[in-house]
Amino acid sequence: MNQSKIKEAGIVNVKFGDGVIVVKPVNLYDCAIGSNVFVGPFVEIQKDVNIGERTKIQSHSFICELVDIGKDCFIGHGVMFINDTFVKGGPARGDKSLWKQTKIGDNVSIGSNTTILPVTVCDNVVIGAGSVVTKSIKTPGVYAGNPAKFIKTLSD
């Protein structure tokens, strides 16, 4: 006898601000999404995530638990946030005490196919496509690469 379970993706217990646009299919649950946010298709936003006002999240992005994203941000296509750093040599396997937080400041743009490990990113940062952010970013500017490194200051 088959003991498989099928769970539906969808929108469950989400606190939405005014003017939010969500393009289905998505998997959003137990999170808070600020006013005038755009969420593209095939996005997953997990529980206890906070998304700031006027942020745009493009398709195929994954925002795991313990992530806060500020206002006026841009999250490109296929951006992956990580909260489990495999500190014991593999997945935490349900031990959420091993997970770590990520905080993205205001006015941060993250290019497509970037991976963000548990870090803090200050306000006014651009992260180039395909980057891997392994350390906190404390100075505004442009960062890119694997691992992401400072490239230049932002122009006025």
38-60 pLDDT tens trace: 999 999 999 999 999 999 999 99
Instruction: Specify if 116 maps to a domain.
Output: yes
pLDDT at 102: 98
Average pLDDT over residues 72-91: 95
Domain membership flag for residue 144: yes
For residue 156, what pLDDT is reported?
Answer: 59
Tokens in use for 105?
């400041």
State the pLDDT at residue 94: 81
Residue 4 lies in a domain: no
Is residue 66 domain-resident? yes
Interval 95-136: pLDDT, tens: 899 999 999 999 999 999 999 999 999 999 999 999 999 999
123 domain-assigned: yes
**What mean pLDDT comes out for the span 69-98?**
94
∠ CA 56-131-24, nearest 5°, is 30
Residue closest to 136 by CA, chosen among 155, 113, 108: 108
The domain containing residue 71 runs over which residues?
11-84+92-152
**Looking at residue 155, what is its pLDDT?**
79
Q: How far, in whole angstroms, is CA 55 from its chain's centroid?
A: 11
What pLDDT is recorded for position 106? 98
CA atoms of 102 and 67, how far apart (whole Å): 5
One-letter amino acid at 19 equals G
- Percent of the chain's residues with pLDDT above 90: 88
What mean pLDDT comes out for the span 127-153? Answer: 98
Choose, from 60, 124, 141, 145, the residue flagged as catalytic.
60
* Summary mean pLDDT of the chain: 96
On whether residue 34 sits in a domain, the answer given is: yes
Q: Into how many domains does the chain fold?
A: 1
Within-domain flag for 6 = no
CATH number at residue 21: 2.160.10.10
Whether 77 is a known active-site residue: answer: no
Locate tokens 């941000």: which residue? Answer: 73
Specify if 3 maps to a domain: no
